[in-house]
Structure 1
Amino acid sequence: MTGILSSEQQAILAMPPEAYMNSQQLDFFLRLLSHERSELIAHIDYLKTQLERSEQHGDEADKALREEELRLLFRQIDRESRLVPKFDAALQRVKNGEYGYCRETGEPIGLARLLLRPTAELSIDAKIKQEMVEAQYRK
């Protein structure tokens, strides 16, 4: 997603509240989720090809630099791989008719939030509450 809203995104945001998660919006988010998931998988595959680049020659500094690059690649692959199930779950919620509604409160998550984070499962209020509880357990 870019910082500028497309005409389709603007049209969706301009819809009245009673049109929330109508067929046009569900179709848009299904396409958005599928597209972002495909891009994520392609990026993970690209990162994996970077792992296969093997540079065994060079001095100790070159080898240390390559080890650091590999560590960062593994970390990025791990982080991005954890997003794939979130996209799968969101796509399943679209198919089940549950997409766009908070899994804790059942209230609408909101179009603006879903445009920014299409895999969101919680409304802003529920997410803030969850983060506050998590912060208390970390102390």
Structure 2
Amino acid sequence: MSSYERGDYFPDEKEEYMSERQLNYFKQQLNNWRSELEIARDSFTKALKETPMRKPDPVDQSASNSDMARDLETRNRQQHLIRQIDFALGLIEEGEYGYCEISGEEIGLKRLMARPIATRCIEVQERLERMSAGPGKHAVACMV
């Protein structure tokens, strides 16, 4: 078994950018992440079916409703991530993964290692954040 098959491979900036080996690495990482999110989703759905919806005590019902709202928000974030992962996997298939959707520049290995669903290079992302914050306001980091 090769080091790549064992999972010992990590993309290196000395290699050709978005080589087949790098693309396979990111595809594997994205698929693994997607599988983890699907397991969490299925676990949530199972727990939801097993949880009684009504509690006799109003305080218990209120706490249960708060927990449910938090869990639903988490599930929504997971579903959003799954859609972003699917989009990134599509970019790999189209040969456009790793390049900024706005400028066409390389996103960079370090950024993709940290956020494999990134679709913009740092410069473009920061510019968009500054523009959305408006003059005199501080942008909140939103790495997409």
Could you tell me the TM-score, scaled by structure 2's length?
Answer: 0.81
1:114 corresponding residue in structure 2: 112
User: Is residue 24 from structure 1 mapped to residue 21 from structure 2 by the alignment?
Assistant: yes
| Amino acid paired to 1:28 | Y
Shift of 1:28: 0.4
Aligned equivalent of 1:82: 80
Of residues 92, 95, 99 in structure 1, which corresponds to 2:97?
A: 99
User: Would you say 1:49 and 2:35 are equivalent positions?
Assistant: no
Residue among 58, 61, 64 paired with 2:62: 64
Unaligned runs of 5+ in 1: 1-5
Question: Which residue of structure 1 aligns with residue 140 of structure 2?
Answer: none
CA RMSD, Structure 1 to Structure 2 (Å): 1.8
What CA distance in whole angstroms lies between the structure 1 residues aligned with 2:93 and 2:106? 17
Count of residues in correspondence between the two structures: 129
Q: 2:141 corresponds to which residue? A: none
State the shift of 1:109 in Å: 0.5
| Higher relative contact order (CA closer than 8 Å, sequence separation 6+) | 1
CA shift digits 1:81-137 (9 cap, x unpaired): 111111111001001110001111111101111011000000011100111111129
Distance 1:80 1:132 in 2: 27
Q: Distance in 1 between matches of 2:76 and 2:115?
A: 19
Q: Which runs of 5+ in 2 are unaligned?
A: 1-6, 138-144
Paired with 1:7 and 1:38, the residues of 2 have a C-alpha distance of 20
Alignment partners' CA distance in 1, 2:109 and 2:72? 34
Task: Tell me if the contact between 1:48 and 1:77 (Cα under 8 Å) persists in the aligned partners.
Answer: no
Higher helix share: 1
Residue 3 of structure 1 aligns with which residue?
A: none
